[in-house]
Amino acid sequence: MVDNLTENEKDKIKVDMALKMYEQGFSNIRHWDQIRWLVPSWFVTLSIGAFGVFGLSNTSDHKIFACFAFLGLTAFAAACYYLMGRLIFYHNTQVKSFEEIEVLVPKEFKNILLYSLPFNLLKNDELKKTATYWFMMIIASIGVLSLIICIYFLIFLINDFISFLDLGGFNRCDGYL
């Protein structure tokens, strides 16, 4: 069936196919771009919650909650950082696939497929100029800070437990049971 087509008909099919592939590719990029902006907002929201628990932790009763809040924030920071890295990978893979799509199209139609993005995630120098890079650095910094705070609370919890044992610990509670 394809053999019966003229060269113009074949070219038209190739151009239509390339346009559909481009359309899908840019739809993917728009989708990933939305997620790239949502991840920092999710992270900031949880960070505010964790630091809110930190504000409550001035009494020893709340130190365990603060420790778990910051441990959770550290884990979420690692997940967000990983997700942002994967989004950069997906973006770069899609941009490279545009070059492969251009091969399908005859030379006279290549100007139809010209694409321009306002940012470049392919090169490290260009990546550092994007909000994505700086969001990742902020997420990593807060993640490390929250791990340090978690360790800080954990040390105090261990010291409190050791003090509890030194004061008689569980034996002291026997008279109350």
Is the pTM higher than 0.85? The answer reads no
8 Å CB contact between 68 and 134: no
Give the residue, 28 or 125, on which the prediction is more confident. 28
Domain boundaries, the chain: 2-163
* 177: pLDDT strictly greater than 50: no
| Tokens (6 digits) for 93 | 């893979």
pLDDT value at 5 more than 80: no
Does residue 19 have a pLDDT over 50?
yes
Distance, in Å, from the CA atom of 144 to the CA atom of 136, rounded to the nearest integer, reads 12
- CA 89, 93, 96, 98 torsion-angle sign: negative
Taking residues 78-88, what's their average pLDDT?
93
Q: Exposed e or buried b for every residue in 151-171, given b needs 16+ CB within 10 A? A: eebbebeeeeeeeeeeeeeee
